[in-house]
């Protein structure tokens, strides 16, 4: 089937899949699901875009090389880009995760695992709980779900206010999906309320990630979405401290994901949470809104006390 004619068929077929799913997952009101699923909570609008529903037809074309890349861009990214990432304050952070996956077989295997109703249910719960704590009235929050291979370097990213991208792989459980979405909802809230376009340093990136993890643990205290090394290793800290005031996105990603240059895997995510936790411990009783607004430098000062 060529992409010039498949959209109507796609929406109808997805709706039929939902109607034959036995009513599990997101509930009876979600049976007429389509490429886009929308809902409201306390006057705030949300939408979930199932971008992965576009992939089977893309792979059916059997194209390779530049032709495959061109078709991927035109039939998938261009179809959902405006809502998912284009124009976002941190659109560039989506670049490296939206390239076509090299392992087609792994992606197609993940496509078979993806249950549209369960995905809707998990994301809807996370967005509802998150927005109850930190409402973003007057905004629309969109979560776009893409498939990926089994070795994705990131599971989810916030491209800007209301623009969240999920990379779904074989290890994505309902609980992890809830935790990831709540984490990145906090990023969206912070960008909307506290980012004014200034230079975004590696320190800022770490603090934003740490705040997202802290919020996630507030919403889902019983979901362990990412390991945290409780030790304060001064040698590892010395490897990154001189980079904190730079705005090198590649280096930020190296620190966050770790696994190279002497840093343990996921080092930056673990350290970023400990940074924010140090600040919370030093400011007992501080409100969610206040610690969300706390400047990166204040959080760094609290954290550096662990290494004196």
Q: State residue 248 phi and psi, 5-degree precision.
A: -80, 105
Q: Is the pLDDT of residue 25 over 70?
A: no
Q: Is the pLDDT of residue 17 over 50?
A: no
Read off the pLDDT of residues 165-214 as tens digits, 9 standing for 90 and up: 999 998 899 999 999 999 999 999 999 999 998 899 999 999 999 999 99
Return the pLDDT at 19.
37
Return the pLDDT at 261.
84
What average pLDDT does range 143-155 have in this prediction? 79
> In the chain, where are the structural domains located?
7-194, 202-307
Q: Is the pLDDT of residue 80 over 70?
A: yes
Dig out the tokens for 88 from the structure: 């976002």
Return the pLDDT at 226.
86
Query: How many beta carbons lie within 10 A of that of residue 289, not counting itself?
Result: 11
What average pLDDT does range 4-23 have in this prediction? 36
18 confidence band (pLDDT: 50, 70, 90): very low
What is the SS3 string spanning 176-236? HHHHHHHHHHHHHHHHHHHCCCCCCCHHHHHHHHHHHHHHHHHHCCCCCCCCCCCCCCHHH
Query: Helices 202-219 and 249-257: crossing angle, nearest 10°?
Result: 40
279 confidence band (pLDDT: 50, 70, 90): very high
- Relative to beta strand 36-41, strand 44-49 is antiparallel
Burial class (CB in 10 A: 0-12, 13-18, 19+), 239: middle
Return the pLDDT at 95.
81
Return the pLDDT at 155.
79
Return the pLDDT at 41.
95
What average pLDDT does range 253-275 have in this prediction? 94
Q: What is the rounded average pLDDT for all residues in the chain?
A: 88
102 confidence band (pLDDT: 50, 70, 90): confident
Q: Mean pLDDT lowest for which of 139-143, 145-149, 211-215?
A: 145-149
What span, in angstroms and rounded, lies between the C-alpha atoms of 63 and 198?
42
């Amino acid at each position: 089937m060529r992409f010039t004619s498949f959209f109507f068929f796609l929406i109808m077929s997805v709706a039929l899949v939902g109607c034959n799913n036995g009513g599990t997952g997101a509930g009876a009101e979600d049976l007429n699901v389509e490429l886009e699923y929308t809902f409201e909570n306390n006057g705030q609008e949300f939408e979930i875009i199932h971008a992965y529903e576009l992939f089977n037809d893309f792979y059916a074309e059997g194209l390779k090389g530049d032709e495959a890349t061109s078709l991927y861009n035109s039939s998938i990214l261009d179809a959902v880009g405006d809502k998912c990432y284009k124009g976002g304050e941190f659109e560039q952070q989506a670049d490296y995760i939206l390239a076509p996956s090299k392992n087609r077989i792994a992606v197609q295997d993940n496509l078979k695992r993806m249950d549209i109703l369960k995905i809707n249910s998990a994301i809807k719960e996370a967005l509802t709980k998150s927005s109850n704590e930190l409402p973003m009235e007057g905004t629309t929050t969109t979560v776009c779900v893409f498939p990926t291979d089994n070795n994705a370097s990131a599971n989810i990213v916030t491209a800007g206010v209301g623009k969240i991208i999920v990379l779904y792989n074989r290890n994505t459980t309902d609980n992890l999906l809830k935790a990831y979405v709540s984490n990145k909802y906090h990023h969206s809230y912070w960008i909307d309320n506290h980012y004014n376009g200034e230079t975004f340093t590696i320190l800022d990136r770490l603090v934003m990630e740490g705040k997202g993890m802290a919020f996630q643990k507030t919403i889902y205290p019983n979901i362990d979405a990412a390991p945290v090394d409780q030790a304060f290793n001064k040698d590892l800290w010395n490897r990154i401290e001189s980079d904190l005031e730079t705005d090198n996105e590649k280096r930020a990603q190296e620190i966050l994901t770790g696994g190279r240059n002497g840093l343990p895997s996921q080092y930056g995510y673990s350290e970023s949470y400990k940074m924010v936790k140090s600040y919370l411990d030093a400011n007992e009783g501080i409100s969610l809104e206040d610690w969300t607004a706390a400047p990166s430098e204040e959080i760094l000062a609290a954290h550096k006390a662990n290494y004196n």
